[in-house]
Chains A and B, each alone.
Chain A
């Protein structure tokens, strides 16, 4: 099985005629994903790699005989993202991947609240989407189908990462070690995102294929504290292993600077790398120093759980 998407999931691409969106459409189709339409206002009647383009989501639904797609990948520029996402949510689409970067926080928070109100889930913004190895991918994650196949093989580990690139690096390491990946989610690098680690944990918890979780994390924000709380309160069956990047940002000379992603700005001592590592470890989540240590530790933790 998998989380959030499966072999039957249908989705659309909003902003499908943009340069990056055209590549993404090709990659997802090649990987086996079911893209049932695209939207770019004013471009109705075109096709992108055989996918029909419409002006509105309403037209896509009409074209598909009234069937509402399961998901949408949103690639429209920041000024138009909020409207595009609310259009999708209002149409009844329940899983939205927002690829767009540099969306003002007010808009992100408004989209997330709207999604909560209608029982939908947003992944991102500023993310590469998610992939179920060998089944489907929704977003640019892993790149062209050939590259995605090389880095992502089906397996037992769920991956969640604030960095899109590191989702692939970690998954490739798990694949090379023979563990493979159940579902990998690039959750996004911004200060406010639709789905945090703790919010996705119940999905992995319910997925029989998943036996362990690996997270990639960074300084900034309180998402790791939230995960630590969740783990303590829910007696999860899943061992979690974390990798923390950006420890150098704790140096005095780096105070107040942001590196990598917008969300890495450290606003209080609680969101520094040192503090987060302590918090995760106190919740029983080991934090490794190197990516290449992950597979052995995952194997060890899975063995410990099955022996217990």
Chain B
């Protein structure tokens, strides 16, 4: 789950890291009130779940409350990379002595969290790491043992920082490391982390992303941030009608799992395919043989007839889809006969002839004899494990697109 900046700042604040006295609003008039309270120059920042807002005009500086209101009104109407802002953040314009970077991510190779610190803040950390590696401290820390402040101090010292700045920055990075683990984050970043002229440190921007798997045990935090259940995991894109329909069918009963995606797919080959790896393999095999899939899908965990039927129906009702290919790698848990019944039922309920509509059925494995018997009865072309995934996909392409051409 991704967080807006105003939420990320709240998370940082809750962890005891100082933030500026900002305000969040969805209303231009209220932006003026916040700016009046701040009483000085302000920064008005669009609250969107996408990068590049500075370049797009989503961040503006105001000298007076009236100017703040005007900027807020403009920014609230400004779409950035296809995203509408949730609101604006009105932030005091800080007098910064030095900008730093503090961040924590997962390192999958080391299987540990990795903290990063740099005295070159405000810019992309990957760029700093490439061009000025001596200005970046990188340290892994234990996901099992309690985090100690000295670990943060070592990381900051690695970046070449010493003196008062080292002492002031240490608790900030230590708290960020702890909040990263405690809140099941995938990314926790403060950039820039500002050192003010009085020597104090304050977070001027924050970027947080929570792991979806951690959300069930982070309900209290999510609720405290005012995020409703209806927001889900805030995927990068809005689900299409097909994706939403498949999800609804999947949620209707707990047996097995079906998934469907069609964002970025524009073809006419309906794919009712399965198992995680099998679906990836089959989608590649269709495309590499010149086929244009209408969708991606996954069947797994032995779904009910209703689920298999529901997925097939949704695929068949997509624009331009006349036929489907039903294919999986060898199954050992999902039952061949149940999937066969489901896809046949889908054809019949839509008034289509299963033998004409199902271009190929290639699911070998558990209960295949029973499955093949049913397929025979409806005159559906099927094959067993002696026909490879590649060849089955090739037959689907030839049958569906060969006819369309």
Contact = CB atoms under 8 A, between A and B. Distances in A.
Interface of A: 20, 23, 78-79, 102-106, 108-110, 112-114, 140-144, 147-148, 151, 161-166, 168-169, 172-173, 176, 189, 191-192, 216, 218, 221-223, 225-226, 243, 245-249, 251, 253-254, 256-257, 259-262, 264, 289-292
Given A113-B144, A144-B332, A289-B288, A259 B366 contact: no
10 contacts: A20-B333, A163-B276, A164-B275, A165-B300, A166-B275, A169-B277, A169-B330, A246-B284, A251-B264, A261-B277
Given A165-B277, A247-B284, A172 B261 contact: no
A114 B261 contact: no
B240 interface: no
Given A163-B278, A257-B263, A140 B330 contact: no
B111 A113 contact: yes
A251 B266 CA distance: 13
Interface string B204-216: 0000000101101
B142 interface: yes
Give the dominant DSSP class at B's interface: mixed
Contacts of B366: 143-144, 147
Nearest to A101: B213
B277 A168 contact: no
Contact of B276 (A114, A168, A261): A261
Contacts of B223: none
Contact of B390 (A165, A254, A262, A292): A292
A161 to B, nearest CB: 7
Interface of B: 106, 108-109, 111-113, 142-144, 181, 184, 186, 211, 213-214, 216-217, 236, 261, 263-264, 274-281, 283-285, 287-288, 296, 298, 300, 328-333, 365-366, 385-386, 388-391
> Can you list the 3 inter-chain pairs with the closest CB atoms, starting with the nearest?
A143-B332, A163-B277, A253-B264
Given A112-B111, A165-B328, A260 B144 contact: no
Given A140-B332, A221-B108, A104 B211 contact: yes
A248 to B, nearest CB: 5
A254 B266 CA distance: 12
A162 B263 contact: no
B280 A246 contact: yes
Contact of B108 (A192, A253, A264): A192
B108 A191 contact: yes
B330 A151 contact: yes
A221 B108 CA distance: 7
A292 B388 contact: yes
Given A143-B332, A248-B283, A291-B281, A104 B184 contact: yes
A207 to B, nearest CB: 24
B372 to A, nearest CB: 15
Given A109-B113, A110-B144, A245 B280 contact: yes
What does DSSP make chain A's interface, helix, strand, loop or mixed? helix
Contacts of B298: 260
Contacts of A140: 332-333
A248 B277 contact: no
Given A163-B276, A251-B264, A260-B279, 12 more contacts: A106-B181, A109-B113, A113-B143, A164-B277, A165-B274, A165-B300, A168-B330, A245-B277, A248-B284, A259-B279, A290-B388, A292-B391
A147 B296 contact: no
Contacts of B108: 191-192, 221-223
Contacts of B213: 78, 102-105, 262
Contacts of A264: 280
Give the one of A243, A259, A289 with max B CB within 10 A: A259
A141 B333 CA distance: 9
Nearest to A271: B108
- Interface centre among A147, A226, A261, by most chain B C-beta atoms within 10 angstroms, is A147
A147 B113 CA distance: 41
A165 B181 contact: no
A289 B332 CA distance: 25
B67 to A, nearest CB: 36
Nearest to B286: A248
Contacts of B111: 108-109, 112-113, 192
